[in-house]
Structure 1
Amino acid sequence: MKLNPFEKKLVQHPLRFWLQNHIEAPLLTSMMPKPQPYIQHALEIGCGFGNGIHLIREHFGAEHVTAVDLDPEMVSAAKAYWRTSTHGLEQLEFSIADATALPFREAQFDTVFNFAVFHHIPDWQSAIVEVARVLKPNGYFVIEDLYRAAICNPLSRRLFEHPQQNRFNHQQLLHMLRQAGFQIVCDRNLFNLSGMVLAQKGCA
């Protein structure tokens, strides 16, 4: 499901990027093993306006980033943002793609990132299975997301357009990750409103 106009304005606000860069990304990197593993090729699901690419490069040290989004407008905006940056489009790829049917071969990526995207996906379980497919054995899935209680309430329904059926909480997310072959390395749950998870794909 695509963002509505209000949410598009919200996610591209400078305050949102500040929070991601100074609060969320350090919390996520603190969950990673030390020394932090080398990421040659990362995938971001739901690239939005391109802020996540900065986090993946600067905080996680990814050499190459493939960024996908279901919304062509988001892909175009992210590409335009990075085209005018000091780094340009070097070591970046962009694609319009559905998270439940990723157009990539098996075991292609070292790490996959979900920065608050899966609560937009009606069939989020299939998206997790797809992440497992495209991740290399021992690869990491870095997740931060919103849960049922945060999006299935009157205020959220008034402001945003989120799927209201088949939503998940922290324990349901962990259960599905384990079913898809992931081991939970670290997880944090904020009152079942939102959470962070570092999951690692097992070896076949």
Structure 2
Amino acid sequence: MKLNTVERAIMNNPVRAAHQHRREAAWFRRMAGGDLSGQHVLEVGCGRGVGAEVILDRLGAARVTAFDLDESMVELARRRLHGRPVSLSVGDVCTIEQQSATVDTVVDFGIIHHVPAWQESIAEVARVLRPGGLLLFEEVPRRMIHSWAFKTFTVHPLENRFEAEEFAAELARHGLHGTARIEHHLAGMLFVGAARKN
């Protein structure tokens, strides 16, 4: 599901970018137990390319493959990341165009809660990760999506949503097991965690 105008403005501004570069990068570095040096990382839902910048500059990945459902966002990411070791395309997290077991790490900067059939996206993430590969995720729980502010100003699927424990259980069902306790941040507006593939 594509972002509406309000959420696009919230997610694509200098404050959000600074937050990703500083706090979110630090969360993911801690969850990963260090940086992602030398790794091929897949970012699901790349937006305008800030996440890929974070993955390269703050987490030390060697190269990034990234996609987004929104063509206009992919074009912005292309301009932002020109000349960087990033491959960009229009794509859907429920049908990832990547061979099985070929990615070292998948990074989800709050995309999966936008997916109506989110369980399918977890299955796809598990498929593309190599054995021992890592998923780093930041997600929004059901209680936030059902809040007045989210329902009034953003567009999200309302059925079949998840809390952190349900998200973790679905990961485990696909062989992705948590590497640390899930952390709740920003007064419970999001949760952050990591899971490794068996």
Distance apart, 1:192 and its partner CA: 5.0
Distance apart, 1:122 and its partner CA: 0.6
Cα RMSD of the aligned pairs, angstroms, is 1.3
Higher mean alpha-carbon deviation, 3-12 vs 133-142, is at 3-12
Q: Which residue of 1 aligns with 2:77?
A: 78
Distance apart, 1:37 and its partner CA: 4.9
TM-score by length of 1: 0.92
Q: Which residue of 1 aligns with 2:183?
A: 188
Looking at structure 1, the residues matched to 36 and 74 of structure 2 have their Cα atoms a distance apart, in angstroms, of 28
1:112 aligns with 2:106: yes
Distance apart, 1:142 and its partner CA: 0.4
Looking at structure 2, the residues matched to 168 and 183 of structure 1 have their Cα atoms a distance apart, in angstroms, of 17
Distance apart, 1:12 and its partner CA: 1.4
Higher mean alpha-carbon deviation, 167-176 vs 23-32, is at 23-32
Residue deviations 1:38-88 (CA, integer Å, cap 9, x gap): 3421100000011001110122111110110111111111111222xxxx2
- Deviating beyond 2 angstroms after TM superposition, the runs of 4 or more aligned structure 1 residues are 36-40, 189-193
Contact between 2:31 and 2:136, CA under 8 Å: does it hold in 1?
no
Looking at structure 1, the residues matched to 147 and 33 of structure 2 have their Cα atoms a distance apart, in angstroms, of 36
Q: Where do 5+ consecutive residues of structure 2 fail to align?
A: none
Within a 5 Å distance, the mapping from 1:28-47 to structure 2 comes to: 28-34=28-34, 36-47=35-46
Q: Which residue of 2 aligns with 1:92?
A: 86
Contact between 1:108 and 1:134, CA under 8 Å: does it hold in 2?
yes
Q: Identity, % of aligned pairs?
A: 34
TM-score by length of 2: 0.94
Residue deviations 1:128-186 (CA, integer Å, cap 9, x gap): 11000000100000000111111112221111011111100010011001001011002
Contact between 1:39 and 1:60, CA under 8 Å: does it hold in 2?
no
Could you tell me which of 96, 99, 102 is aligned with 2:96? Answer: 102
